[in-house]
Amino acid sequence: MSIEKWIIEADISSMQLAMESGDVRSEDIVRAYLERINKYNMELNAVLEINPEAIEIAINLDKEREEKGSRGLLHGIPILLKDNIDTHDKMHTSAGSIALKDSIAPEDSVVASKLRAAGAVLLGKANMTEWANFMSNEMWAGYSSRGGLVLNPYGPGELFVGGSSSGPAVAVAANFAAAAIGTETSGSIISPASQNNIVGVKPTVGLISQDGIIPLAHSQDSAGPMTKTVKDTAILLSVLLEETKQNPHFSQSVKKSFDNYHELLDVQSLKQARIGIPRYYYQDLDEARANIVEEAIQVLKKAGATIIDPVSMPCEKAQWDWDVLRYEFKSDLNSYLARLPEGVPVHSLEEVIAYNEKHAEVALKYGQGTLIWSNETSGTLTEKEYIDSLNKSIEMSRTQGIDHALNSYELDALMFLGDEGSDLAARAGYPIITVPGGYVSSGMIAPGGYTTKGPQGITFVGTAFSEPTLIKIAYGFEQATKHRIPPKMG
């Protein structure tokens, strides 16, 4: 086979079958992706650095397959990691900051460790919005001082790329890797996944370990898969699940709700689904994007889903603030930085701010007002302002928000366009998944000079630990539409 052509849009299962049959090796797949990165990444800026050991790792995994057999569905599969996920190897972890450009993590993150154990090839680090887009209100999504600006492959420089997991999203969309792992606090997986025509999921907070990931806010942070298909997302999620432990954000324990999510996939699953349409969140859509929503509703109905339209929530007109993120960022980042080796130039948020000021020409293209704003807090998480904001966010987003709608209307999920439901799900700590939902060829000019046209994701939100239900719904919608098409490259 011509691996250069085959690798485009190949999914994890087909790669695994090809390796099992001996048609290709992991080494061949890695080399094919590296060739595509070398050819196209200069324009898109999605991949920040390549793992210099990637080919050697692939060769060893090929040998292991021959001698001992496969470890599972990720054996020999190349995966990219967002640049805030620690790897203890020859790659750096910087969250896009030049202050950490030479930082090598003292140990693997749990996410990296689980991927390695499953036989994945950690291909490299993907660019991201610096400090997970919590550095400056002026910063463009996808920009970092270390890596520059990530561009959308469907319209480089014209279409919005989304953030902060922009690099992983673009890399997957452009077929630079089989899949990628992003992170999200509020919208950072769902937004770029939607804008780049891929599948993205942010799981229930705590379902995937955050140990060894440069944080933003522990009560909302989670890593999550970014892939071309729902099945690939399900495969990765099954590998990344954390073992049962007490979650401080929920009364129940985090539990493996299902060991192998890909075994749940069934094209008939929508016939049992009840999905709510929260019209309050659609009122600012232009006609083209509103049509995407209406088309999605009709697809779901035709596939047998019960659509409840409209549904409402008491939280819809709540006045939200960002105090949870402001207070938790300093505390969480200080804890992460304090564990870094002495040779790293920054070990606290205050030192990051000072470093940026000293290297302002490179580090402060968009300023650092948000970093300074967070640094004004004590870092102890004892302020009344923080505690009140956290309690309000949880109460309004859960009891007066998502759970109210699901319980009142007997729903399995709520449906949104793109990242419209991300903030609500983030405050609740609840899971959210987006699937390619179509393409808008004309749009309005949005803040930052981008247009609202381009790929659009259809997004489903559920209650805590409802990943199995959301994956079933997303798969049913994906198979009924198959909106995913690769960008035209070259």
Residue with tokens 């849009």: 9
- Cα–Cα distance measured from residue 226 to residue 111, given in angstroms and rounded to the nearest whole number: 14
Residue 253 per-residue DSSP state = E
Please give the single-letter amino acid code of residue 295: E
Residue with tokens 């480089």: 156
Adjacent-strand bridge partners of 459: 416, 434
Burial of 184 (0-12, 13-18, 19+ CB in 10 A): buried
- Cα–Cα distance measured from residue 33 to residue 24, given in angstroms and rounded to the nearest whole number: 13
For β-strands 413-417 and 454-461, DSSP reports them as: antiparallel
Catalytic residues: 82, 164, 188
Q: Which helix (H) or strand (E) holds 6?
A: helix 3-6
Please give the single-letter amino acid code of residue 467: E
| Closest C-alpha among 85, 63, 474, 59 to residue 299 | 474
- The answer to whether residues 239 and 256 touch, using CB atoms and an 8 Å cutoff, is no
With the CA atoms of 352, 357, 363 and 365 taken in that order, what torsion angle do they form, in degrees rounded to the nearest 10? Answer: 130
Q: Using DSSP, state whether 143 is helix, strand or coil.
A: strand
- Cα–Cα distance measured from residue 424 to residue 401, given in angstroms and rounded to the nearest whole number: 8
First-to-final CA distance of the chain: 22
- The answer to whether residues 356 and 368 touch, using CB atoms and an 8 Å cutoff, is yes
The angle that helices 323-338 and 384-394 make with each other, rounded to 10 degrees, is 110
| Closest C-alpha among 150, 157, 187, 203 to residue 172 | 150
Kindly state the tokens that stand for 253: 């324990």
